[in-house]
């Protein structure tokens, strides 16, 4: 059986916004790190120093920094490969459009990120499966965006004198960078994806990941016209909280921007679009809401006691539970356990859900490399989950066969990836 990691990243800091670190750290700290790591030797030196600090936090960040400051995406992908003992496992690399998240533009630009990633694909055509980042603020909209995306997919990549392959197998969306899934500029592209059974994977982790740090953009975009519902999405309110220490360190506004971006991500915001594809378009969009809402929401949905803070979003309801409810109505809706998988407490709840016929075929294995290097080394993340999953019977095989094999292949299947690279 073929196995997959359906959720990984190989972008470097050159592909991220120039002020990326400023979204998560006080300006003085971010500036210092940027200065120290603006060369490869500097990045390695700082990573070495961090790795020598007591405890695990410094070591984790050192690993994350070392990978993020790699020379290129080929280095990152090869770092990922060597952490797996399965020489045949395939990896989905999710390219990221991060040019419009209020942190400046990247050094490479999105086109440069894609061009470099396809060079990696040329070297590893059968093990690397690429998802094309999609954003309504990209170079085109409506039909022009659809035609541009279709052109990217249909223009085969030359591997050698005798072989060319489709370069992309799916689409990747990251709404918390400042847009809703129901944005009308995406509608025709998503219709194209549904017609061609192209899988779409969208970030859906509560308060986790990249967000939009442009306050003015958020305040003008949270209340947005939903063409599927034919009305304004009029309940979101920009969050204005005040935290003493965040104000002292100058991160209070960034925190308000981050929590306000929850509205773009909330599973409830997908309802009208999913309803349109099922009942009006008559062909469901094959969509994965990544991260299953996040590890804390997975645990809370299964009755584990956690210190869950106030919920942001229109429904103010557990995000894992929201995803499960959507999956019960929409048969082509999937979720993956990436990033959440580092928390070994979620393994048992996930295996319980796998026993539910409603979810058996739609729970996917992924790790979210290299983002999870902040939590745990990739090889440990992979080996621990695989060991636990192999011990769990599922159908005629195991939970590993189901989640890393059958389910992912079913999700990926289209003319661009009919179970093999073509």
Which residues sit opposite 199 in a β-bridge?
Answer: none
Peptide bond into 370 cis (omega under 30): yes
Predicted local confidence at residue 248, as pLDDT: 82
- Please state, in angstroms and rounded to a whole number, the distance separating the CA atoms of residues 312 and 260: 8
With 0.95 as the threshold, say if the pTM is over it.
no
The pair of structure tokens assigned to 76 is 């990152």
- Please state, in angstroms and rounded to a whole number, the distance separating the CA atoms of residues 180 and 217: 13
Residues 367, 338 contacting (CB under 8 angstroms): yes
Burial degree of 384 (CB within 10 A; 0-12, 13-18, 19+):
middle
- Can you list the domains of the chain with their CATH numbers? 4-412 (3.20.20.140)
Predicted local confidence at residue 16, as pLDDT: 87
Block means of pLDDT (10 residues each) for the chain, 422 residues, are: 97 87 78 70 66 55 65 93 96 96 92 97 98 93 95 97 98 97 97 98 93 94 96 91 81 91 96 98 97 96 79 92 98 97 97 96 96 89 98 96 98 97 97
- Please state, in angstroms and rounded to a whole number, the distance separating the CA atoms of residues 334 and 285: 10
């Amino acid at each position: 059986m073929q196995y997959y990691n359906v959720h990984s990243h190989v972008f470097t800091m050159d592909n991220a916004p120039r002020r990326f670190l400023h979204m998560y750290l006080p300006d003085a700290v971010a500036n210092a790190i940027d200065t120290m790591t603006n060369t490869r030797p500097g990045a390695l030196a700082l990573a070495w120093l961090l790795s020598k600090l007591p405890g695990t936090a410094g070591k984790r960040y050192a690993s994350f920094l070392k990978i993020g400051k790699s020379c290129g995406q080929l280095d990152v992908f090869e770092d990922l490969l060597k952490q797996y003992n399965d020489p045949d496992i395939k990896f989905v690399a999710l390219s990221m459009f991060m040019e419009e998240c209020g942190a400046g533009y990247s050094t490479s630009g999105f086109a440069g990120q894609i061009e470099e990633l396809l060079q990696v694909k040329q070297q590893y055509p059968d093990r690397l499966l690429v998802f094309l980042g999609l954003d309504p603020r990209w170079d085109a909209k409506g039909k022009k965006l659809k035609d541009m995306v279709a052109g990217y997919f249909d223009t085969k990549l030359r591997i050698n004198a005798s072989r060319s392959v489709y370069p992309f197998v799916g689409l990747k969306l990251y709404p918390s960078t400042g847009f809703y899934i129901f944005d009308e500029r995406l509608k025709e592209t998503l219709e194209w994806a549904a017609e061609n059974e192209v899988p779409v994977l969208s970030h859906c982790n509560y308060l986790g990941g990249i967000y939009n740090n442009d306050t003015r953009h958020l305040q003008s975009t949270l209340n947005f016209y939903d063409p599927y519902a034919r009305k304004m999405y009029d309940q979101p309110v920009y969050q204005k909280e005040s935290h003493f220490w965040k104000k002292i360190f100058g991160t209070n506004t960034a925190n308000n921007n981050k929590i306000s971006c929850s509205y773009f991500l909330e599973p409830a915001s997908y309802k009208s679009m999913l309803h349109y594809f099922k009942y009006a378009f008559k062909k469901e969009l094959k969509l994965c809401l990544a991260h299953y809402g996040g590890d804390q929401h997975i645990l809370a949905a299964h009755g584990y006691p956690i210190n869950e803070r106030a919920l942001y979003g229109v429904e103010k309801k557990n995000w894992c539970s929201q995803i499960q409810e959507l999956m019960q109505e929409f048969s082509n809706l999937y979720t993956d356990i990436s990033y959440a998988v580092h928390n070994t407490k979620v393994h048992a709840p996930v295996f319980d859900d796998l026993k539910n016929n409603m979810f058996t075929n739609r729970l996917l294995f992924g790790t979210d490399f290299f983002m999870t290097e902040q939590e745990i080394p990739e090889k440990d993340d992979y080996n621990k989950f695989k060991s636990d999953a192999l011990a769990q019977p599922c159908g005629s095989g195991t939970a590993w066969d189901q989640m890393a094999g059958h389910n992912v292949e079913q999700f990926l299947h289209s003319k661009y990836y009919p179970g093999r690279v073509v």
